[in-house]
Each structure stands twice: as C-alpha cells, then as structure tokens.
Chains A and B, each alone.
Chain A
Amino acid sequence: MRVAIIGNGIAGITAARWIRKLSDKAHITVISDEGDYFFSRTALMYIYMGHMRLRDTQPYEPWFWEKNRIQLLRGRVETIDFHAKSLKFKEKDDVHYDKLIIATGSKSNKFGWRGQDLDGVHGLYHLQDLAAMERHTATGIQRAVVVGGGLIGIEMAEMFHSRHIPVTFLVRESSFWNNILPPEESAMINRHILEHGIDLRLGRELDYISDKNNDGKVDTIQIKDCEELSCQFVGLTVGVSPNIDFLRNSPLSINRGIKVNNFLETNQPDVYAIGDCAELDTPEVGRRPIEAIWYTGKMMGEVVAYNVIGRKTAYKPRLWFNSAKFFDIEYQVYGDIRAALPPEHETIYWEHADGKCSIRINFDKNTEGVVGFNLMGIRYRHEVCEKWILAKTPIETVLKNLGLANFDPEFYREYEQEVVRTYNQKFNKSLQLKTKRGLNAVTRFLETFK
C-alpha cells in the first residue's frame, strides 16, 4: 500500500509515524515544500530569539526517517488527480498513491488592507515567514508593528522585544485575547505586556500600510482613527485559515477547510484530511469544526493512521485543553472556560498579590461538577484535571484534593489553600484542603480510574 502524505507538520508526521507503527508493509511518502525535516512550528519564535537553532526544533534526527522507512520528498503538489490517484508536481514525476492524507496546515490571514503585500509585511506561520522576518529586521529597523492580539501576535511582539526592536502592538479588542480569556486573566496579560515595555494599543485597528518612499517597502502604517506610525516591519497576525488554495477547483468537498467526517475521510475515496486544513462535518458539542492547534493535529494524525490501515476509528478529541506562554507567564486551560461566564456556570478565581499568577476553577451551578481549570503562571496536571472534569466531580471534592493537580516544581509555594479560602469566602463555607502536592497521592488517585 502506497500512502502519500502532503505536509510534514505535526499532523502529517504523526500520521506517518503511526502508520509505520501499525503496519510494517505500508510504503510511506511525506511531501513538503516547506522544509527538509519536520520541525516544531510552535518553536519558530525561539529560533528568532536565539534560544535554539532550527535543528534543535527538529524532534527527530535525520537517520530516523530512513530507519523507519518514511520517505521524505521535497516539492510542491500543484494538483491532485483523484481518479488516477496521482499527485502532480511542477518539476517532478507524478507520485501515485493508494491512500492520500492531506495535512497542509494553515496560512496567515490577510483582510485586504491597502499595502498588505508590501515588502516587510508578513505573517508568521511557515519557516519562510521566519526567514523573511530575519531578512527584514536584522538591521536598520527602528520599529516593528504587530497587528492582531492573538497567540501569534504576542509571540511576535516577544520576538522583536528580545532583539531590542521597539514594538507597537495593535489589538482590536479592548483587552488582550479577551474573546478567549476571562477578564481578569486578560487584564493580567495586558499588564505583563506593558511591564516588558511594549507599546500596547488596545482597541486599535490597522487602517492601511503605506510605502511613502515608493521603494516597495513598508515605511508607515495608519492606525484607524488615530496616528500614523513610522515602522520598517509589519507583522500581520490576525488568525490563520486552511492552506488549501491549490485544491479549490477540484472535486474535493471544501468549505473553509477540507470537509471530513468523524473518520477524517473526505468526499473522495481513500483521501483523508487532518490538522489545521481539515474541517469536521459534525464536531463534538462545544468544539469548533476547525481547531488549528498543535494538539488536535497530533491527535488527528494518530486517528487517521488507524483509518488508513483499515482499523476504523473515529476522531473523538474529548476534553479541550490548550496552553501557551505570554512572555514570562505560562497559560494552561483544561475543559470549558469561556471568556464570558455562562449563566449555568459559577467561578472561583484566585490571583496572587503580585498579579502574575492565578487559578480559576469553573463548575456547574446545578450539578456542582467542575467544568474547567484556567491557570496563569501555575502548572496543573493534565491527567488529574481531565479525570475530575470528565467525572463531573463536585467542586468541593476537587477543592479538598486540589493539591493533586499541582504540577509546579518542588519547593514552589502551593496556593491551593488560597483557592479554598477564596471559595469559602465566596460561598460562606469552611472547607479544608486535605491533599497537598505530591506524586504518590496522584498515582493512587489515577489508579482509581483504571
């Protein structure tokens, strides 16, 4: 069986690895136009900041691919002949497949601003974007502007800041990422961005980008209803969308992304789509049809491997989780935490006096079962939080045993007592924390779920 995978990101590579794990016979080819080897996309920022080199972001050494008989092919697929089951390249022979996995990821959004295609205007998604950032900001830059207050936007701000490039950060919302983060956490990140000396402009939008010198390079931007700013680089980080333009006029069923069912099958026989470029027909309740994050790409890669080798398995990602790091503040979320608290939920929020770490636990008003955890600057255990949420464990049981969830390093102060106190004050209770941080208690707890 010849399996072709377009895209060597986390989704495509996870698929390739799992197909090899499950089947010794499959002939696996991974095609990429972006780079020779799989690297961690989420680590691109660290290359720019000098924390790592490109090769340090590559999880497998070059010999790994040969040893596991995964053929890597550098090239760009121009079209797919779904009838003949072949991939067409511009300057390469056709590649024939029995099964095809499309994992082409995303591309950065552009919303038709004037000047958006000037030199020095870039998103950050591909390796080539990083190279462009490097090219345009290595010398002679006095200011960079980042447009869009999301995860990539704040990464870009941190990247420039690490190189002493003054940054103006335009955020359309009234507070950073407040469509995802609850108000307190969002405010914390606003303060933290300012603490680092970033010129944060909340509630500001880009009007247009211009090139007053007429040399094809950006030199100023106009902020809507506000001033004009001189800058030599503009980062456009206003979200991403599926990278599927080359498939637009094909029999493949496409909406925003490539339409797939729960088995990650497209409307074409033996063709699957996974990761950022896939759009689920029927996502689970509370989940979006396209979730362009690392973790879902990884899970889909694994599930598709089962389906490709004929062991039918549905994609059921179960509990939502995510993480990020905003400058120095780590963020973890488990379960259902919404920016605006829905009426059926109740929340307990504790924040440290230094304003740099917080714990939020949400629970259902009726059942009292916990629904989500939101952590800033504090690490919680994925497994423990997940078990509690899935079992709809009552909030008081969770609070009494909250130490089980703590994953901060040894000797770190434990704040679970404070969370319990917050709960007691809010609901006039006198609950006591029973379990503190520690592995043995966690092992015992997890055993009960086996």
Chain B
Amino acid sequence: MQTEYSLSLANPTPLHTSLRQKLALAAVAIGVLMCLIAWASPTAAQLLPPSVFLAMSISLVSMGSIAFVHEEYDNKPEGIKNHGVFFKSLVTRGVWGWFLGVLLTGFYVCLYWFPEYLTGLVTVFDPLSKMMRGRPADSWFVYGTIYTLSVLLMGYKFAMKYRHNRYQLVRTASVTFFQLGFSFLIPSFLVLMNEPEYYFSYFWPLKTDSLKPDGIQWIVQSSSHGLGLFFIGFSILMTFVGVPILTYFFGKRWYCSWVCGCGGLAETVGDPFRQLSDKSMTAWKIERWMIHSVLIFVTVMTVLLWVNSATKGQVLGSASMAFSKTYGFLIGSIFSGVIGTGFYPILGSRSWCRFGCPQAAILGIFQKKKSKFRITTNGGQCISCGNCSTYCEMGIDVRHYAQRGQDVVRASCVGCGICAAVCPRGVLRLENGGLDINERTEDVRAIHVKEGTLILDNF
C-alpha cells in the first residue's frame, strides 16, 4: 500500500526520522556501546587512552542527543507537543515501558547492593574522577555523573519541547543549574579539597546526615579546613528558617521543581512519564498516609539517635542504630532510589516525591497552611477536558478545582506549571499573593446562582 504522508514541515512527530536524526542516534548508540564494552572487558577499553575513551563516549552521547532533539523540535511551530503520547508503549506501561522499568530497577539494585558488578563501568570514569576529585571513581561517582548528564541532556529536550513557555525555560535552567553545580561540581570540589562531600541543596529530613549525631560528627571530622561547622550551621538554618520562609513566599516549588536534584531528574528525564501518576481519590488517600508516616519515621529516628547519643547508648543500646539502619534501607535505598526512579515507567516520575519524600511532606504542610502560593483558576473558562489532571506528575486532580473556579491549594503540588501549560483555554496560573492568604481554599467563586436577585453570575 502506497501511503503519502503529509509534506508539512510542521508534523509534530515525523514518521520518517531524518538523516540527521539517524546520524545523531548512531552517535548516541556508539557512545553507549563504548561504555558497555568497557564494562564487559577492560582490555578492550585500553585501545585508547582512558581520558580520550571517556571523553569520546560522553561527547558522542551528548552531541548525538542534542542534535536529535534539536532536529525533533526546532522546525515545528512552538506549542504543546503531546501528540500520540498515549499511543507510545514506552510511556504508557507498554512493552518498552515495562522493559525500561526492569532495566532501571535492576541498575539501582546493583548500585545499592552489588556495586562490585559495576566495576568495569566504574573504571571508565576514573579519569574524570581523578580530575575532579583527585581520586579514582566509585560507583556513586559514576551514578552522579550519569545522573547529572541525564538531567542536562533531557533538560535540553524539555526546554526545546516547551520553548514557547518562559516559566518552563527559567525553571528548567534553575533545576539543571542546581543539579550541575550544587549536586555535582561543588561536592566533587569539596572532596578534592579534603572536605566532606557536602550538598548545599539537601537538608534534613531529606538528607538526614546534617541533623543526626553521627552525621554531624562525620561532617565535622572529615573537614580539613574547619568548614564542617559552617556546613552544619547552613543545614540547620535551612531546615528551620530558610525552608519555611521561602515556602511562605513561593510555595513548595522553590525547592521541589527549581532546586532539588530528585525533582531535577523527575522534571527532565521523568517528563515523558508524568501522565502515569495515579489521579484517583484512593491514591490521594494512600499518599497522605504514606508521606506523613515517612516524616514521622525520620523524626522519631532522629530523636532516638539524639537520645541515644545524649545517654551514651545506655538507655537505647543499639536499638536506635538499628532503627536508623532500617530507615536507610527502606526509605533511603528502596523507596527513594529503586522505586523512586526505577519505577518511572510504571508509577510516573514523582512517586518518591509524592508518596515518600519527608522534605516534600514538610514543604507540603507549609504550602497548605501558610503560603502565598496557589494555582488560580480563570473564572468560568474551564471545559473539564482533563489535560491538567492527566499531565499532573503529582496525581492532583487539578480539573476538580478548575471546573469549580476554585484556587488549587494542595500540599503535594510542586509548582512545575505543566497544568497551566497544557490547558487549552487559559484557565490556570501559578501565582503568589498574600492578601487573601487565609481564603485561598474557599470555593467562593463556585457560587453561581444568586437567589433573590435572580441573577446568574458567570462563575
């Protein structure tokens, strides 16, 4: 059967990949293949000097991805690019989605519990690690590098996809900047300077070290320039002062979709999977129970550790340490890593942020109780189409509020702004405004009929 497809340059997803895109994909494939070969056989990798080998591999993957994405979006009119999302198996829990989910999960299992299986791959990254940190690579450095590279490359894709939307461009610039600088370059530099590998972008309770007695001890002791106290001070200040104040002014989003590394991955690599989040009322109930349980868990753990430390282990013995280890295993490894990212193609991009992250829980409480942030709705313009709810990565049924003309104030909203972007009728806007801070959740605008006067209001 002869089929003539549209001659339009504006086709949202060209059925026939262009020659440039084929070349770009070939570059990515070769770059990935180089890593796989080195992983399998270190001798094969020695054909080239290690630094050349790594530089080549990373360059091929990066340039190939950028070229592909550029070709994909650049010659099409700007606008929402969700054509065919629900026809693609990769992003609708189809064959490829399942395959990728197992692959990612397996990688995380190796990373957390069998790092020795990654030795071949780790060796490839030695030159970069030596340059940045003055020591050979380990599995976590490899992970950090791949993670950061993924955020940057998929961040470029995200930016091209939403290039008509300045909120998305600024936000993506921010979240990729913080991943590259605060979660990758600065910690590596600190290691080079014989300082603890400290992250300025994670605070208690997401990063428990900065408020745990043994964590504090480790930070102070491993600092060779006496910066340890500064790090501890910064962490405490952020946990108790910075987080509440910033959340009061901007909502949870200042952190979750602008700064956080987990958020950074979800917003870039995870973007194609955002529609997989569960929007049901049941999921919302589970979410509230689960995320607050984790918050209680981490708080109890921290308190126990301090009690144990203050009593020099006489009261609790090894119980608090066992509690802490359990937290690290269940929450730190299984939940945030294996499920949180490995299950992107199954549960969507924010399952950790939504169901597990204790930092998100705290930010959410502030956002709900005392914050200027909300998503306002535009009078009566909603047509209940469902794009906002479908593309909400946090599983919020945004439409429920939009069709009533009620401002959206939800603890879980990370302020990514995609609901407002995909809305075809201009109904949603992320806003900060303090004048009506205590009336944000009232559905006053949903009162439509004014009896007595017999006048129907538009809202």
Contact = CB atoms under 8 A, between A and B. Distances in A.
B55 interface: no
A328 B11 contact: no
B380 A321 contact: yes
Interface string A424-450: 000000000000001110111000000
A51 B82 contact: yes
Contact of A197 (B11, B417, B436, B451): B11
Contacts of B6: 161, 164-167, 197
Contacts of B82: 49-51
B389 to A, nearest CB: 7
A385 to B, nearest CB: 9
A10 interface: yes
A409 B166 contact: yes
Given A57-B385, A142-B4, A332-B381, A49 B83 contact: yes
A439 B166 contact: no
A317 B170 CA distance: 40
A127 to B, nearest CB: 15
A325 B421 CA distance: 13
Nearest to B11: A164
Given A56-B389, A311-B451, A166 B7 contact: yes
A23 B370 CA distance: 35
Contacts of A2: none
Bin chain B's interface residue count: 35 or more
A49 B80 CA distance: 12
B92 to A, nearest CB: 9
B434 interface: yes
Q: Which of B1, B166, B426, B451 has the most CB of A within 10 A?
A: B426
Q: Which of B86, B87, B421, B424 has the most CB of A within 10 A?
A: B424
A319 interface: yes
B267 to A, nearest CB: 16
Contact of B448 (A167, A302, A328, A410): A302
A330 B455 contact: no
A188 to B, nearest CB: 13
Nearest to B445: A383
Interface in A311-333: 311-319, 321, 323-325, 327-328, 330, 332
Nearest to A409: B167
Given A56-B389, A327-B77, A318 B430 contact: no
Contact of A321 (B170, B431, B458): B458
A53 interface: yes
A93 interface: no
Interface string A151-180: 000000000011111110000000000000
A186 to B, nearest CB: 18
Contacts of A312: 454
A328 B378 contact: no
B456 interface: yes
Interface in A331-363: 332
B384 A46 contact: no
B386 A56 contact: yes
Contacts of A59: 384, 386, 399-400, 403
Contacts of A43: 383-387
A392 interface: no
Contacts of A286: none
A412 interface: yes
Interface in B282-312: none
B223 interface: no
A164 B167 contact: no
B389 A382 contact: no
Contacts of B79: 327-328
B170 A314 contact: no
A198 to B, nearest CB: 8
Interface string B418-451: 0011101110011111111000000001001101
A407 interface: yes
A386 interface: yes
A59 to B, nearest CB: 5
Given A142-B3, A323-B381, A444-B435, A439 B376 contact: yes
Given A51-B390, A164-B6, A306 B379 contact: no
B379 A318 contact: no
Interface in B361-392: 376, 378-381, 383-387, 389-390
B10 interface: yes
A12 B85 CA distance: 31
B426 A330 contact: yes
Nearest to B12: A162
A316 B455 contact: yes
Contacts of B88: 50
Nearest to B425: A323
Nearest to A293: B383
Contact of A411 (B170, B431, B435, B445): B170
B5 interface: yes
Contacts of A328: 77-80, 164
A438 B1 CA distance: 57
Contacts of B15: 164
Contacts of B165: 409, 412
B83 A409 contact: no
A256 B281 CA distance: 42
B173 to A, nearest CB: 11
Q: Which of B85, B417, B425, B451 has the most CB of A within 10 A?
A: B425
A323 B423 CA distance: 12
B436 A382 contact: no
A125 interface: no
A318 B450 CA distance: 13
Q: Which of B82, B83, B170 has the most CB of A within 10 A?
A: B83
B83 A51 contact: yes
Contacts of A302: 448-449, 456
Given A315-B456, A379-B426, A411-B166, A321 B381 contact: yes
A52 B275 CA distance: 9
A131 B165 CA distance: 34
Interface string A42-62: 110010011111001111010
B43 interface: no
B457 interface: yes
A196 interface: yes
Interface string A369-401: 000000000011111001000000000000000
A161 B11 CA distance: 7
Nearest to B92: A53
Given A51-B86, A56-B390, A318-B457, A313 B435 contact: no
A368 B119 CA distance: 77
Contacts of B77: 192, 195-196, 327-328
Nearest to A322: B381
Given A50-B85, A295-B380, A321-B458, A409 B429 contact: yes
Given A328-B78, A332-B425, A407-B426, A443 B385 contact: no
Interface of B: 1, 3-12, 15, 77-80, 82-88, 164-167, 169-170, 280-281, 376, 378-381, 383-387, 389-390, 399-400, 403, 417, 420-422, 424-426, 429-436, 445, 448-449, 451, 454-459
18 contacts: A51-B387, A52-B387, A53-B86, A142-B4, A161-B10, A164-B6, A166-B5, A166-B6, A197-B11, A298-B380, A303-B456, A316-B455, A328-B164, A382-B379, A409-B166, A410-B430, A411-B170, A439-B435
Given A53-B86, A412-B167, 6 more contacts: A51-B390, A56-B386, A142-B4, A196-B10, A303-B449, A313-B456
Q: Which 6 A-B pairs have the closest CB atoms?
A: A197-B8, A382-B379, A328-B79, A439-B433, A379-B426, A43-B385
